Amino acid sequence: MQTLPASDVPRAQSPRRLIASAGIGNFAEWYDFAVYGVVASILAKQFFPSGNPAAALISAYALFGLTYVSRPAGGLLAGWLGDTLGRRRALSFTVLLMCTGTALIGFIPTYSKIGIAAPLLLALCRLVQGLGTGGEYSSAIAFIYEHSDARRRPVRISYLVTMTFLGITASVLAASLCTAIVGESAFENWAWRILFLLSAPLGIAGVYLRNRVAETPEFARVAAAAKTEHTKATPIRGTFRTQARAMALFFCVVSAYALITPVLSSYFITFMQDSGGISHGVSYWISVVINLVMIGATLVAGRLMASRGLQRTFVVGGLFIAVVSVPAFALATHGVIGALVGGSLLAVGKGTVAVAGAMAMSYMFPAQVRVTAGAFAYNACTVVFGAAGPAIGLWLNDSTGTNTAFSVYLATVGALSVVAAIVGRKRLSSAASSSPAAAPLVSTNTD
């Protein structure tokens, strides 16, 4: 395969600009993702019949999971764009679509005004948001991965993952500030809509920033080679024909991250309120602290991965989740301090596996199908482990009559991730890509 001459490869841009352009979409994605969970108990009252509060809350979380249904399709669409037309075009498409879906939720009338049409419109908006979200993460990671050399990738990707947690933190802060300014009653009646409407300016900013950065050198080389050899990119067919084993391994090792993500971004807030007796306002501020701990853990995990490798980072993170899940939820039933400690323990585990999962999304797949394979494998995993996570948590606790039954399930999935990382050690310890940019993670150098 021929490559572009050095003079024809796009010049590397400022790392800060690259991370900002990719990170704005990750920030918006996870702001959009988390804001629904933050106000899930309010949405249950606004968009569902009021006769059975428990059923309404489960229904709200079922719609939370509905977003995951459209994610695989969105991943394939964005993957096709990213692997045929460029990473940058995929990034602009995904941020615009997901922010539109979220912002529109702020305009939906309540169940008391339009009846069954309210939850149906909410479901439609969630499906649109899921289409955009499905390709956002893998596109952004591939963009940073291909703009970085092997020595700097772990730390730069940890910065990108940090942007996702900042998006979650921002959603909680926005809810806290709105509650403090207008009061809990007004917030539950109408001010919650502000949180969704804020997605509109985020989408506009994302498109603007992403149109001002260059395409990745690696994609430029692949595209130029295809043009020279008169071949047509077929990333979807190529993904399923050549990457089935790699995607199956990815599915298993990322399972703990896929499950713990909705746990901390939405379910844990409801758990604090229902099982710990903590008010909406206080639970939001606790969640802010937990997210700050998560950000610190993410930055440390990037350096751990640079020195110890991808496979060992998966093992450490999955094992930590398996060990701390049950005691963490038990602590969260004992007031504010218990919730802070329990949530912080879970945050450390999530931050560790998040960085490993992000790196694996590009590291395990060749450049020709990187966005498509990474997006599909990631979204398939989130459908199975993430979509029903909060609803399963409510059902398990209700069925067993205990407050922490769901934590056993989380611990079990953490153990599954460890076993998969050990079984797939060879694959995770050497680059699956045939591209020139792929290399083992061995350096401790940072930006």
pLDDT digits (tens, 9 = 90+) for 213-223: 888 888 888 88
Mean pLDDT of 377-390: 83
Q: Distance (Å, rounded) from C-alpha 113 to C-alpha 117?
A: 9
335-363 vs 310-331: helix crossing angle, rounded to 10: 160
Domain total in the chain: 1
How high is the pLDDT of residue 251?
Answer: 94
What CATH number is given to the structural domain containing 104? 1.20.1250.20
Q: Write down the pLDDT at residue 263.
A: 84
To which H or E segment does residue 262 belong?
A: helix 255-262
pLDDT tens figures, 341-378: 999 999 999 999 999 999 999 999 998 999 999 999 99
Q: Report whether 43 contacts 28 (CB < 8 A).
A: no
H helix or E strand, kind and range, residue 109: none
Domain assignment present for residue 436? The answer is: no
Q: Give the 3-state secondary structure of residue 210.
A: helix
Better pLDDT: 109 or 280: 109
Q: Does residue 159 sit within a domain? A: yes
- Flag whether pLDDT at 440 surpasses 70: no
Alpha-carbon distance 339 to 360, whole Å? 31
Lowest mean pLDDT, pick from 101-110, 198-207, 317-326, 401-410: 401-410
Query: At residue 116, does pLDDT exceed 90?
Result: no
Dist CA 179 CA 11 (whole Å): 47
Residue 443 lies in a domain: no
**400 CB neighbour count, 10 Å cutoff:** 12
Mean pLDDT of the chain: 84
User: Nearest Cα to 256, choosing from 343, 138, 356, 345?
Assistant: 356
**Would you give the DSSP letter of residue 190?**
I
For 237, the domain range is: 6-429
Span between the terminal Cα atoms of the chain, in Å: 31
H-type alpha helices, 309-438: 310-331, 335-363, 370-381, 389-400, 405-423, 425-429
382's enclosing H/E stretch is none
Rounded to 10 degrees, what is the CA torsion of 268, 301, 364, 435? 140
Does 157 map to a domain? Answer: yes
Q: Is the pLDDT of residue 435 over 50?
A: no
Residue 143 lies in a domain: yes
Quote helix, strand, coil % in the chain, to nearest 5.
Answer: 80, 0, 20
pLDDT digits (tens, 9 = 90+) for 278-316: 887 788 788 889 989 999 999 999 999 998 899 999 999
Residue 136 — pLDDT band, cuts 50, 70, 90? confident
Assign 173 a pLDDT band (cuts: 50, 70, 90): confident
Residues with Cβ within 8 Å of 180's Cβ and at least 6 positions away in sequence, in order, are 281
pLDDT digits (tens, 9 = 90+) for 28-52: 878 887 788 778 878 888 888 877 7
Higher pLDDT residue, 32 or 424? Answer: 424
Which pLDDT belongs to residue 433?
Answer: 39
What pLDDT is stored for residue 13 in this prediction?
Answer: 62
Q: Is 113 within the bounds of a domain?
A: yes
User: Which residues have C-beta within 8 Å of that of residue 407, sequence separation ≥ 6?
Assistant: 325, 326, 328, 329, 330
Name the band, by pLDDT with cuts 50, 70 and 90, for residue 430. low
Residue 180, pLDDT > 60, answer yes
Domain-embedded: residue 307:
yes
| 446 assigned to some structural domain | no
Describe the crossing of helices 255-262 and 310-331 by its angle, rounded to 10 degrees.
Answer: 30
Higher pLDDT, 273 or 174: 174
